[in-house]
Structure 1
Amino acid sequence: MPTSREILAQLIAFDTVSRNSNLALIEYIRSYLTEQGVDCELFFDDAGRKANLYATLGPRDRGGICLSGHTDVVPVDGQAWTVPPFELTEQNGRLYGRGTADMKGYIACVLAAVPAFLARPLRLPVHLAFSYDEEVGCLGVRSLIAALEQREHKPLVCIIGEPTELKPVLGHKGKLAMRCQVHGAACHSAYAPQGVNAIEYAAKLIGRLGEIGAALAAPERHDARFDPPYSTVQTGVISGGRALNIVPAECQFDFEVRALPSDDPQQVADDLREYAEAELLPKMRAVKAEADIRFTALSAYPALATDPQAEAAGLIAQLTGSREFSTVAYGTEGGLFDQAGIPTVVCGPGSMEQGHKPDEFVSVEQLARCDAMLARLAEWLRG
């Protein structure tokens, strides 16, 4: 059977940037599993261009361990790669290519472990869950999780293989991404008071976000397990205006909240909407009745905060040999699994220090350590 490195070379060759279909990669995985007698379920998006894959190895009349990973990767556009991004290159103990760290390296190790999982009867099953569109808001996996919630025997624990250098991670922040559209009224800039300047009102809203962010950063709200140790708010994109001598009628900006498990990111959006309705809209509509401020959710996923005393934490400690649990700054689908009643931990090969960058890589040593961790999982599943 192919090794994890050989499977990784196949996976990297599929350009599964989130804007593209992942079906060719999913078909490769489905064929690989089918050849070993494993049945697969596919959960397609509405357009039929992308799919999640779910498969169970072992008994189906009980819960088991779910190994979850996303198949999409971030773009390489504008990045200065020195090796082909969609071709595996090995140099000095490193395996280069888009997705090697985030997170096709983990998927390759899981697939390479399938023969070991099938070699002898398992007392508990192992479930494989490979999703799409994680990089744009953990979108694809939701339909798969919704299906699992309806089943009599859903997984007992989920291990998400995001790159943590194989250190056990029990927590990450949640995220809410929003778009705010300000609709004012245009006029000649010589008569500016007769218009409603959408950019200026957008600036007031952004300033208010800054005040909310400062309150969230107060020392008494800190959680030292995270870096930074508080919830953050930031505006990342803004556009508006057509010419300097025209009072701008339109402006929009996108902002995000990355919230500690103890904070509700929706509260930030609600506070901003309340400020808009109570303070800004009356002034805007006093000049132009049609003026408006609209908010649209772009994406969201919940935080993860697994109890260090939970069975999931004990299992990952046993598999990695470490009870030095930590958190990560980036998000995963872990909070979604956890909300569905499936306790979740994050642990995978490679480092996010290499993720999303040109010349992304995972080390050969990390891939070998992940292979060994999954071999230990196979023995644990046999009891």
Structure 2
Amino acid sequence: MTSQELLGKLVGFDTVSRESNLALIEFVRNYLSQHGVDSELIHNEDGSKANLWATIGPADRGGVVLSGHTDVVPVDGQPWMLPAFEMTERDGKLYGRGTTDMKGYLACVLAAVPSFKAAKLETPVHLAFSYDEEVGCLGVRSIISMLEDRPHKPLACIIGEPTELKPVLGHKGKLGVRCRVHGAPCHSAYAPEGVNAIETAAKMIVRLNQIGDRLADPAHHDERFYPPFSTVQTGVIEGGRALNIVPSECRFDWEVRSLPGFDANEVEREMRDYADNELLPRMRAIEATTDIVFEPLQAYPGLTTEASSEVARLIATLAGRDDFGTVAYGTEGGLFHEAGIPTVVCGPGCMDQGHKPDEFIAIEQLERCDAMMQRLVEHLSA
């Protein structure tokens, strides 16, 4: 099957992160089996989702990992003009949820399987297809844990997120946190007798903004990235019951997009210190049961790969260019890199089309990725 045909099959599976990805994984597993490739699955705790791992070539040495996630973002509330989970071809473009982020890459990897299988590979290639990347890079962590127990650690990893096949050596990390403020309700006519959870949350959000302003100082800039500084933002807030009741509950979600080298946990530590030492004493002077609770939502590290590294030279050879760049979004690459597997990001499509209605990938991008896979076959056979 060609990469276009395979992409049509993959798009047909609704693998929004809230859904199971098992039907897609079984399709991939059967496809690999038809080409004589064994694979193994690593399920989540309730068995509703799975990662897939497969190796082609000699198993007694490290190899190159081709890694991608199978989940996609929701289409709810988006004005799609074309079917989201049925691929449509128009004017040299292939439309459907996940075409660019990132089932296009998975399709090119699978289309190259017969070539990998037929070649006499001196170095193996590994396929790593994960679940729940879009909600915090969750599934890939069990793949990495599995690799820690294997005798031969992979030599390199190529994450196929959409970069228009430009080699990317860096991206920011992310920390996501939920804060729950538990106040004390009362009639709004007697507001000073209660503890207003929304107003307390607002004070915390102001402190987050102040931290963000500090991080944006030019002294902290890294011009390889855009924006060139670590950012802080509040994305969700909810609280209150009625205007005449001092609200007892408020929760808000915030995140840090951190430059490599900056510990996003510093922001959380500062927020906890502010809550413990300034806000809570005043709240509990009115009502002892009030509280501020921090809950982790998401966390993954940034990525920085040296331009002089072997994996950087490899992707420059495969992509046919060495104008290395960075991306603003996060990937599973930081986790592979943190585990001692040198990693780069390079895949077909443009993230400008990702997460949007009528998402698409240009056929030309698939064709170029197919060519890159064939160069990898030749490289691993040398």
Q: Same fold (TM over 0.5)?
A: yes
Measure how far apart 1:234 and its partner are. Answer: 0.3
What CA deviation, in whole Å up to 9, does each residue of 1:86-131 have, x standing for no partner? 1111111101111000000000000000011111211100000000
- What are the within-5 Å matches in structure 2 for residues 304-383 of structure 1? 304-383=303-382
TM-score normalised by length of structure 1: 0.99
Helix, strand or coil at the partner of 1:350: coil
Measure how far apart 1:225 and its partner are. Answer: 0.6
Runs of 4+ off more than 3 Å: none
Helix, strand or coil at the partner of 1:213: helix
Aligned to 1:124: 123
In structure 1, what is the Cα distance between the partners aligned to 2:216 and 2:137?
Answer: 26
In structure 1, what is the Cα distance between the partners aligned to 2:234 and 2:242?
Answer: 23
- What are the within-5 Å matches in structure 2 for residues 155-166 of structure 1? 155-166=154-165
Aligned to 2:108: 109
Q: Percent identity?
A: 69
Aligned to 1:133: 132
Helix, strand or coil at the partner of 2:112: helix
What CA deviation, in whole Å up to 9, does each residue of 1:219-260 have, x standing for no partner? 000000101000000001111111111111111100000000
Aligned to 1:292: 291
> Letter of the aligned partner of 1:298 in structure 2?
L
Measure how far apart 1:201 and its partner are. Answer: 0.7
What CA deviation, in whole Å up to 9, does each residue of 1:245-288 have, x standing for no partner? 11111111000000000211111111100011111111011111
In structure 2, what is the Cα distance between the partners aligned to 1:120 and 1:318?
Answer: 19
Helix, strand or coil at the partner of 1:18: coil
Superposition RMSD on alpha carbons, in Å? 0.6
Measure how far apart 1:188 and its partner are. Answer: 1.0
Measure how far apart 1:308 and its partner are. Answer: 0.9
Contact persistence 2:240–2:247 (CA under 8 A) = yes
Aligned to 2:221: 222
In structure 1, what is the Cα distance between the partners aligned to 2:229 and 2:66?
Answer: 30
In structure 2, what is the Cα distance between the partners aligned to 1:247 and 1:362?
Answer: 50
In structure 2, what is the Cα distance between the partners aligned to 1:191 and 1:362?
Answer: 59
Aligned to 1:51: 50
Contact persistence 2:119–2:377 (CA under 8 A) = no
Aligned to 1:178: 177
Helix, strand or coil at the partner of 1:192: helix
In structure 2, what is the Cα distance between the partners aligned to 1:97 and 1:189?
Answer: 50
Helix, strand or coil at the partner of 1:315: helix
Contact persistence 2:156–2:342 (CA under 8 A) = yes
In structure 1, what is the Cα distance between the partners aligned to 2:242 and 2:160?
Answer: 49
Aligned to 1:193: 192
Helix, strand or coil at the partner of 1:229: coil
In structure 2, what is the Cα distance between the partners aligned to 1:71 and 1:241?
Answer: 38
- Flag structure 2 segments of 5+ consecutive residues without an equivalent: none
Aligned to 2:166: 167
Matched positions, count = 382
- What are the within-5 Å matches in structure 2 for residues 237-316 of structure 1? 237-316=236-315
Measure how far apart 1:79 and its partner are. Answer: 1.1
Helix, strand or coil at the partner of 1:166: coil
Contact persistence 2:303–2:333 (CA under 8 A) = yes
